[in-house]
Structure 1
Amino acid sequence: MTMMMPIPEPAELKRYSGAQRAAALMLALGREHGAAIWEQLSVDEIKELSGTIAQLGRVPSTVVEHLLIQFSGEVSSMASLHGSFETTERLLGGILPEDRVKEIMEDIRGPSGRTMWDKLSNVSEAVLASYLKNEYPQTAAVILSKLRSDHAARVLAVLPRDYSVDVIQRMLRMDAVQKEVLHQIEHTLQSEFMSNLARAQRTDPHESMADIFNAMDRSTEEAMLNALDQRAPDSAERIRSLMFTFEDLGNLMPSSVSVIVRQADKRQIALALKGAPEEMKKLFFSSMTERSAKLMREDMAGMGPVRARDCEEAQSALVRLAKSLADRGEIMLVDPKSDDSMII
């Protein structure tokens, strides 16, 4: 096997200091090939290297060639380069004016150094709209203008119509928002909305358990709750108060029932209503067209006797569908903890 002999160091190289060798190398690499290195340097390093380049003068081609070969060998053994907000800002700082760099970096990571707008894009449109409708329309306009267009569209669709039109008009007339205003809005969102949302999302273990009980069949659910009554009656009562049952569907607004009827399996509805009280049947039938209600009654009559367990499973499936629709903000459920309030 033939071994490559190392290229001898040119005599002229001894005249150059470490800083001058680095300056010559960066000059040879140019902007395109040297960008990844420039962005790794601190401001002081960039100033020192730039000053050295400015005073470098003519560099013999043999020196440049040796530096490039040496650099190529060292780079091939590197694991990776590291890109970050800081290195990006340093790179831009060597190319663009300071105010332009600041504007670009604020768009990338937000005025507070972290994209609050990315966080808001993970908040459901129903929750965000519920918050915005209590804010000044101008504030809502600024916030929505910073969100992704698809998310802003969904939020506008959920907001009250007159309010959303007002917000849209303000977004159309909006000039560049002052940085101080963005800072204030971000601070308010962080201190009020996001912190309150985080607290609200700390799930009560009783709520989680109520969801588990909702998924059980009726006989298992009752057996478990009765057993819990003996050991922890307060917990059992709390779970019962948080459970959303098939009977609670009777308290829904007609518009919410209509959504459930459209999305549920028709046989499942028929089975669920087969064992339901007459008032519940009337509520569901009133949410259908006259022809659909007639066909549903005929299907129920044609079923003949059905097992109670099959009816309960169908009712549980409708409850799960209702809760899923509510989580997506498509319907509203009556809050079991309050006679008055509604939750989305």
Structure 2
Amino acid sequence: MDSITKAASIIIALGADVSSEIFKYLRDDEIEELSIQISKMDSITPQQSQEIMNEFYEQCVQQKVIAEGGESYAKDVLLKAFGKERAGEVMERINKNGRQVAFEFLKKVDYKTILMMIQNEHPQTIALVLSYTAPEVASKILAELPPNLQVSVFQRIANLDRTSPEVIKVVENIMLKKLGSMASVDMAEVGGIKYLAEVMNNVDMKTEKYIFDEISGTTPELVEEIRKRMFVFEDITRLDNMEIQAFIRECDTKDLTIALKTASQEISDAIFGNMSQRQQETIKTDMQYLHNIRMSDVEEAQQRIIAVIRRLEEQGTIVISKGEKDAIIE
């Protein structure tokens, strides 16, 4: 049975009310084609209808083609078509099958092997594969790619959003044919700014500088957004006492007061422990009178402090540990 006949069968099974809503989202030529096919269909056996609806339901669940409602909506479709008992049987069978995580095998492969697998692939393929690896693994691979390829892959990771199961399967088979066919994969959110920030937190300073210098020429706003997320307020505990004292001297006292309002005990201890007694008392007193403050104000104050830390890092005053720590020569 061809796809148009299956579509017409689903429309018939859903009934006139639901079908009229579906037609609102179709092009005129699609409505015409479906209407003609429906008019030609004299009858369809219960078995055929059941098979078509089973197939439709499985696709809805496995690929999440329904933007809102997802599995719940697909369940409603099946309930309307076959009733509660039969719908329950099909849903139970589908759910038992489960779905594997894409590129699961990469967890058992060292980064050198992954690098050999992808280094001659298209940058888009490399970006997809790296997006399924841990940030520390991706950072090592990124650092060993040719400089021009680093930039291309970096930009493509930033633009990754959702990748279809079909594309993922193709790339999986290219990367590791021995695994054969894997289970269906949900539309997966991969890559993006947050992921790149985690990757860049783990690359060495030379690689970071090269990539950011290159990207800044074309998309400076991307670099700025990634930098904002690279060092978070909680990472202050990674700094030593002298470095904490250095950024405290550069920060506005008001920002410190607001930022510490929701800070963990560990961060508060680290910052207060590097202040003079007088400054501690001033800020703690101000915090007592700080009421009804918006979370957005706290986050903005923390971002301003982070900006100071990043500026001091660029000046060489502060060294933010990245990836594996270098040996310190005393």
Q: TM-score range by the shorter chain?
A: 0.3 to 0.5
Q: What is the TM-score normalised by the length of structure 1?
A: 0.35
Bigger radius of gyration, 1 or 2? 1
